[in-house]
Amino acid sequence: MLGALTTLVVSFARAHRLAAYGLIGLVAFSESLPLLGAFVPGDAIILGLSALVPTGALNLGPLMLGALLGAVLGDGFAFWLGHHYHGAILGRWPFRGRPRLVARGTAFLQRHGGKSVFVARFTPGVRAVVPVLAGVLRMDIARFYWMNVLSALLWSPAHILAGAAIGASFVLLGAVAGRLALIAAIVLALLVLLYMLARYLVRRVPPLIGAVHERLRQWAAARDSWLARQLLALLDPTRRELPGLALLVSILLASLWLFFGVLQDVIAGDPLVRANEAVFHFLQGLRTEWVDQIMVAITELGDASVAAAVALAATAWLAWRRNWRAVAHLIAVAAVTAIATIVLKLSLHIDRPDPIGSGWDAFAFPSGHSAANAALYGFLAIIAAWELPPRGRLPVTAALALLVGAIAFSRIYLGAHWLSDVLAGGAFGVAAAALLAIAYLWHDPPPVGATGLCVTVGVVLLGVGGLHIESRHRTDMNRYAVRQRIRSLPLHEWWRDGWRDLPERRVDLIGGAEEPLTVQWAGRRAVLREELAAAGWHTPPRWMLRTAARWFEPHVRLGRLPVLPHLDNGHREALVLVHAVATHPDTERLVLRLWRSGVELTRSGTAALPLFIGTVIKQRARRAAPVMTLANELGQFTAPRNVLAAALPWRRLAARPGTAATRAWDGCVLLARAERLTPAPVAAAQPKRPRRRHQRRAATAAQTASMIPNGQAPCRNP
């Protein structure tokens, strides 16, 4: 769905380029309109359209020209309004009723003088009022337009090139994981919208809440009923906990939504399950010993013994202050989280990535570490922040959130849990903390001594956690060590039909199915590299600062560019080779990518062979901007695979069952190996016998047909 939406936007911009260029000019013009420009999200629209330049949907020059003309004409029109109507315009809409903004713009003009028009172009807030005020104050026309044009000459390329750079980043990222790039673009857009919404809410919502609060209180005060009495008690002006309780209710609902969403995906086997394995393999491929040391220490801070010590210390502090109500709610938080986690583990029976536990702890979903720590520290953070002054709330909540997040990430990094386990566990823990905190704070809770509680929790966490790390670290390093999971398969069985059990398509980091895996190689990488070297295949340039800079050369040869990495189920490529296309050697090349399959092929009397899976795709150079070259993958798999097959002596093509042939891929997989399966006996020369030759051809055709699914054309060896 998201990919179709992006394709639709790009296709519309490419088909209606004049409309897009006109929209850029209109947006730049509207940003300079008196006051109205402050409500136009011009920067976001300009950056969004400029980001389409690297895709080829729009051209850079017309975009810059449209933004330049729109900016100059917009400021010029606003200046004309002020110059023509003089001070009378300040008494009309939209200036009427906004004396502070007018005073601010006037002070800005008086402070900066003639250069105020130039500075205001890049200054939010006063940008939409300075040009018209310059006309009202009778600024010299020549001086105004000199500053107007000069500022537009700098403003236009700054915005357009920034958007093009963002788009180029997404294009390069899209070559690595297309759906990931799309999600990154959507997340960026959502962040911009959320920022604008938050700014609006901060300005408008508090007065609105105050007005609604007062009207509800007056309505309840005029009536004598149970509902009216409850509203009066809740809306008592002396009670200030209503905004905080509303925030906790929002956190509770959001956490429950996330938990049940993840639970539904896990039960239904949605793409999140594929993303589990992709993220797991990706992080396992990044593991190093010194990072393992840190992550094991962090995960040990979240162990049950440390969490229990912190909970007991917090309980002791609250009991010393005789706050039995907080003690009861803290115990309830821990009990509800522990019981729910055990029940879910025993009900769903989802195995961990690596077997590191026994009994109910052998199951993965949800993560007990994530749930318990999120519930414990979340509840403590809420009741402490309730009493702390505003300047002390952020450090406490940020520190505890960082601790809980680090523990959750360490579980994924060490392979103790899947991504879905941690998301569900953390969401459930936060929901439990929010629910019990609402129950605790609903009726004027007694003080907990927030400063002493925070100090107690911190001292116990560092002391007990340090001792626990000291005693358990060596054992846990062995427990969480990387385990290679290799499946054995007889070589003859793989060659016959075992190859069908391997994945059909590459899986990206977020679980999406990408290009088909059209190659399977049985043998060492060095052997394949030697076999293909004679046919013109070679290693591409390595990723370095010098080679990466070549992407920003407009006329660079494609062979001088490094190959963007792709991930399959989180694994990086084990081998990448390129081959220049003979007809267009400077602008086209074939790229072979191979990944480890996790399978080794066994043979009697000899060492096992590693099995690699991969794909061959064609790339074509494209000039995306005056200072950038991109390598577009054309989505053709059959012809590039056949070029590779022609360079290998021991290979065959086999049709994948259930896969329909398309123009891009005929549904056949290239099976190649480093040597014969068995030595072929040398037969003595025999006279030709046409009848037997035809019989052999018929038998071969029958054998080939038995490997082809019904309705699919046989695979033709090149």
Q: What is the pLDDT of residues 163-204, one digit of tens each?
A: 776 666 655 555 444 444 444 554 456 556 655 554 555 455
Work out the pLDDT band at 615, boundaries 50, 70, 90. Answer: very high
Q: Which residue has the higher pLDDT, 29 or 182?
A: 29
The number of distinct structural domains making up the chain is: 3
554 preceded by a cis bond (ω within 30 of 0): no
Res. 425: pLDDT tops 50:
yes
Decide which of 416, 449, 479 is a domain's last residue: 479
Same domain, 411 and 507: no
Same domain, 458 and 518: no
pLDDT tens digit sequence for 652-698: 898 888 888 888 898 899 999 887 655 444 444 444 444 444 444 44
Task: State the pLDDT at residue 4.
Answer: 43
Across-strand partners of 591?
578, 617
Return the percentage of the chain with pLDDT > 90, whole number: 6
Domain presence at residue 548: yes
Least confident of 324-333, 613-622, 636-645: 324-333
Residue with tokens 């236009």: 156
Domain presence at residue 589: yes
Domain presence at residue 211: no
Least confident of 118-132, 151-165, 296-310: 118-132
Domain presence at residue 260: yes
Res. 711: pLDDT tops 50:
no
Distance CA 530, CA 520 (A): 17
Work out the pLDDT band at 303, boundaries 50, 70, 90. Answer: confident
Sign of the four-CA dihedral 497, 499, 505, 508 = positive
Domain encompassing residue 325: 240-479
pLDDT tens digit sequence for 112-135: 777 777 777 777 666 667 787 787
Task: State the pLDDT at residue 640.
Answer: 92
Neighbours of 234 (CB within 10 A): 16
Same domain, 403 and 530: no
pLDDT tens digit sequence for 492-512: 889 888 899 898 888 765 556
Cα-based distances in Å from 514 to 144, 506, 622: 55, 5, 22
Across-strand partners of 615?
593
Domain presence at residue 219: no
Name the most confidently modeled range: 356-370, 409-423, 632-646, 704-718: 632-646
Same domain, 498 and 453: no
Same domain, 460 and 361: yes
Domain presence at residue 540: yes
Q: Is the Cβ–Cβ distance between 602 and 491 less than 8 Å?
A: yes
Q: What is the mean pLDDT of the chain?
A: 75
Calculate ∠ Cα 58-63-64, nearest 5°.
Answer: 145
Same domain, 492 and 474: no
Task: State the pLDDT at residue 435.
Answer: 85
Q: What is the dihedral of CA 636, 522, 513, 634, to 10 degrees?
A: -20
3-class secondary structure, 434: helix
Return the percentage of the chain with pLDDT > 70, whole number: 70
Task: State the pLDDT at residue 696.
Answer: 42
Same domain, 268 and 417: yes
Give the 3-state secondary structure of 505-556: EEECCCCCEEEECCEEEECCHHHHHHHHHCCCCECCCCCCHHHHHHHHCCCC
Task: State the pLDDT at residue 146.
Answer: 86
Sign of the four-CA dihedral 95, 99, 104, 105 = positive
Res. 25: pLDDT tops 50:
yes
Task: State the pLDDT at residue 542.
Answer: 83
Distance CA 582, CA 589 (A): 9
| Residues ≥6 apart with Cβ < 8 Å to 335 | none
Work out the pLDDT band at 707, boundaries 50, 70, 90. Answer: very low
Task: State the pLDDT at residue 448.
Answer: 77
Average pLDDT for 642-650: 89
Q: Is the Cβ–Cβ distance between 519 and 669 less than 8 Å?
A: yes
Decide which of 424, 447, 479 is a domain's last residue: 479
Cα-based distances in Å from 252 to 114, 349, 428, 429, 432: 54, 27, 9, 10, 8
Average pLDDT for 627-643: 83
Q: Which residue has the higher pLDDT, 53 or 529?
A: 529
Res. 1: pLDDT tops 50:
no
Res. 293: pLDDT tops 70:
yes
Least confident of 33-37, 454-458, 459-463: 33-37
Residue type, 6: T
Same domain, 471 and 516: no
Res. 206: pLDDT tops 60:
no
Nearest alpha carbon to residue 440 among 379, 487, 491? 379
**Helices in 524-675 by DSSP H: which ranges?**
525-533, 545-548, 638-646
Task: State the pLDDT at residue 591.
Answer: 93
Same domain, 163 and 245: no
HSE, CB side, 13 Å, CA atoms: give it for residue 559.
12
Res. 428: pLDDT tops 60:
yes
CATH number at residue 415: 1.20.144
Domain presence at residue 80: yes
Distance CA 238, CA 235 (A): 8
Decide which of 479, 508, 526 is a domain's last residue: 479
Same domain, 328 and 428: yes
Same domain, 475 and 494: no
Domain presence at residue 716: no
Work out the pLDDT band at 70, boundaries 50, 70, 90. Answer: confident
Task: State the pLDDT at residue 551.
Answer: 74
Same domain, 368 and 465: yes
